[in-house]
């Protein structure tokens, strides 16, 4: 059986390749957006888990009493659009965030955890809140007492992997 030869097929090949390239190019952008969205979602989940861990650790050592010390490894690095802007741990006595850990994101959003039961005062050694802009660090928590008030003194240390 003889093969049918289409001499016009070779002329139409560049047009077909151009159409394929355009369609492929249009589908890359939605796929890239989905990937970025997945990265951001993963980052938010990691942040929530780490904030919960830091707050639970602070509450646990407050129950242990004076002198109790723990270190929490925190890593807020991100490959996506959403990034960590800062982390604030505690505040001055009587201020609204004195029992909170607040993560501020590059989008302007905030994630916060507050110690309720037991409510504990989180602060730094100078009795101000601890303000951190490093994305990965160790958070050292120590139970102390200031004017007979149990306090968790927080310190950011260089991250050790």
What is the DSSP secondary structure assignment for residue 149, as one 8-state letter?
E
**Predicted TM-score (pTM) of this structure:** 0.77
Rounded to whole angstroms, how far apart are CA atoms 109 and 83? Answer: 10
- Positive or negative: CA dihedral 62, 116, 50, 107: negative
**Helix residue ranges, H only, the chain:** 9-64
Beta bridge partners of 143: 152
Record the tokens describing residue 45, joined without a space. Answer: 């989940």
Predicted pLDDT at 33 = 72
What is the DSSP secondary structure assignment for residue 29, as one 8-state letter?
H
Given a cut of 70, the residues of the chain with pLDDT beneath it are: 1-12, 31-32, 161
């Amino acid at each position: 059986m003889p093969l049918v030869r289409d001499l016009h097929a070779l002329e139409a090949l560049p047009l077909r390749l151009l159409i394929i390239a355009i369609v492929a190019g249009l589908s890359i952008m939605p796929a890239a957006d989905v990937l970025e969205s997945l990265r951001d979602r993963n980052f938010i989940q990691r942040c929530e888990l780490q904030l919960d861990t830091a707050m639970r650790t602070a509450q646990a050592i407050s129950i242990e009493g004076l002198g109790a010390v723990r270190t929490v490894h925190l890593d807020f690095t991100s490959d996506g659009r959403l990034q960590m802007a800062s982390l604030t741990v505690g505040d001055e006595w009587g201020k609204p965030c004195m029992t909170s850990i607040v993560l501020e994101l590059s989008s302007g959003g905030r994630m916060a955890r507050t110690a309720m039961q037991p409510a504990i005062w989180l602060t730094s050694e100078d009795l101000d809140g601890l303000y951190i802009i490093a994305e990965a660090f160790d958070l050292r928590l120590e139970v102390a007492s200031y004017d007979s008030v149990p306090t968790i003194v927080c310190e950011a240390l260089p991250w050790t992997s």
